Amino acid sequence: MTNPPVLDLLAKYDPLIAEHAGLLSTGIRDPFGIVMEKVLSPTEAIIKGRHTILLGTYNYMGMTFDADVIEAGRQALTDFGAGTTGSRVLNGTYQTHAACEEALKDFYGMSHAMVFSTGYQANLGMVSTLAGKGDFIILDADSHASIYDGCKMSNADIVRFRHNDVADLEKRLKRLPPEAGKLVVLEGVYSMLGDVAPLPELVAVAKAHGAMVLVDEAHGMGFFGEHGRGVYEEQGVADDVDFVVGTFSKSVGTVGGFCVSNHPKFEILRLVCRPYTFTASLPPAVIACSTTSIRKLMTAHDKRARLWEATRRLHGGLKARGFRLATDTPESAIVSVLMPDQETTALMWSTLIELGVYVNMSRPPATPAGVFLLRCSICALHSDEQIDIVLAKFEQAAQMAQLALHEHA
């Protein structure tokens, strides 16, 4: 007996393979294949032998090379070993993990904190565990993939409202049965366009329809609000937000995710949240670095001010040079430059990397509504000189890529 021919399961990706090959055949560098040969600081690396300014790493507060953070990690590596080899609910909770959750509780002024192994898992776990069969999840159309995937994994009914549109959220909430459980999922900062949510209005509408509210502050932690808790703090809605999800891989400078809450039954989630339970916990060194970083971020007022200053310099400089930006004013530490099409975006990106500037290239479906972007994220440690170099390189790249710039009004 001979076996039947094996059907290639990867054949469904042939169109994407062809598209990617087509992009590279124009001679440009692979935007999704960058290798950092050396990382010199939070703002500089060596890429293909070239000294490169990093402007697309979400390393907002520049904590990756902080001396105290590194020392804490070194100590934990020596004291607790390289990894935990276990789940948080079995052998994977060390004193370091408990200390990290204490730091989060202090940072957010909340009574419960749960640390996940990645930010993706934090959203995946919280969204899928909070809403079950018969419940409704109402999410913003521009939500991060981790939120969409959490919806998919839940057994809830999923309702999507137009991005940051309060009236649209209200209209959709009105169609839901009043007796059903509801979770409204929002983000403080949306990472593609760098725009900020009108949380007071959105949260008020959610509460008026009896919904619980989860806010993802991945791109807001560290520099929004008096204590750096995020957009929800800055906009004064802390009392009406039931769950805050965040990540360590942006302002904190490591990797990991978390949820904080004052809900009295919160601790039970450790036993029912599968992306928390069925995976190994973070290595002690990562956790110790995170704890130290979180505690330092509590009082990092100077860095916050510097981050906003550098962001305004970049945003204003690009605008003055005629680039089209996703937000009219700098709303967050993400400055997204609007591009006309895939080819120009790829060429601009490739030219910038050759000129020693790394930004993110973003395209559909990661971006909303068919938008192509060159996305810049600013670090508190970017100097004015670095920002000015970046601005000059952007101008030079636009010329080389024949990107039409607009007269500044």
Partner 1 sequence: MTDRATVYARIIELIEPLNTKKVALTEATSFAGDMEMDSLTVMDLVASMEDEWDIMIPLNLLPDLETIGQVADAVAGLVAKKG
Q: Give me the residues that bind partner 1 (CB under 8 A), please.
A: 136, 141, 151-152, 156-160, 162, 171-172, 175-176, 364-365, 368-370
* Min dist. Cβ of residue 136 to partner 1 (A): 8
In contact, 57 and 333? CB cutoff 8 Å: no
Question: Beta-strand (E) ranges in 7-67?
Answer: 38-41, 44-47, 50-54
Token readout for 87 is 């789940």
**Is the CB of 183 or the CB of 352 nearer to partner 1?**
183
Nearer to partner 1, 152 or 301 (CB): 152
Give the DSSP letter of residue 28: -
- Residue among 179 and 385 whose Cβ is closer to partner 1: 179
Closest separation in Å from C-beta 373 to partner 1:
15
3-state secondary structure of 259: strand
User: What's phi and psi for 355, nearest 5 deg?
Assistant: -85, 0
Residue 147 CB, nearest distance to partner 1 (Å)? Answer: 12
Closest contact distance (angstroms) between CB of 177 and partner 1 is 10
* 176 vs 218, beta carbon nearer partner 1: 176
Q: What 3-state class would DSSP assign to 177? A: coil
Least distance from C-beta 102 to partner 1, angstroms? 38
**One-letter amino acid identity for 196?**
V
Phi/psi of residue 148, nearest 5 degrees? -60, -40
Nearer to partner 1, 38 or 152 (CB): 152
Q: Which is nearer to partner 1, 158 or 280 (CB)?
A: 158
Give the residue from 385, 406, 403 showing the smallest Cα distance to 394: 403
Q: How far apart are the first and last CA of the chain?
A: 76
Q: Which residues contact 177 (CB under 8 A, 6 or more apart)?
A: none
Rounded CA separation 312/335 (Å): 9
Report in angstroms how near the CB of residue 241 gets to partner 1 at its nearest.
24
Instruction: Read off the DSSP letter of residue 211.
Output: -
